[in-house]
Amino acid sequence: MIVFAVALVGVVGILISNKQNADNNDPDAPPPVETKALGLLLLVISQFFTGTQFVFEEKLLSGYYLDPLYIVGLEGMWGCIYYAVVLPIF
């Protein structure tokens, strides 16, 4: 349902920008259709990977009893450590 909604909004945005983007010399013109289509494709792919991650995590941890606050804390801690190392590199 989310993928359908994102696709619908994207298609409408592309169709409207085609009508408004008649003059290519305008510096304030919206980005070309190819750029918008690529952005929407990347968004749909990211939704796929996020959904896959949630399903995999649920399958992996379904056999264990773990305190929810403990799990959220661990995810936050590892996320902070990961970005503290990776962010300065990028």
Calculate the alpha carbon distances from 11 to 14, 17, 37 in Å: 5, 10, 9
8 A C-beta contact, residue 41 and residue 33? no
8 A C-beta contact, residue 46 and residue 6? no
pLDDT in the model for residue 29: 62
Model's pTM, two decimal places?
0.50
Q: What is the pLDDT of residues 33-66, one digit of tens each?
A: 677 778 778 888 888 999 999 899 889 888 888 8
User: In angstroms, rounded to a whole number, what is the distance separating the alpha carbons of residues 48 and 85?
Assistant: 26
Query: What are the residue boundaries of the structural domains of the chain, listed by start?
Result: 2-64
Tokens representing 86? 């990776």
Radius of gyration, CA atoms only, the chain: 20
One-letter amino acid for residue 62 of the chain: S
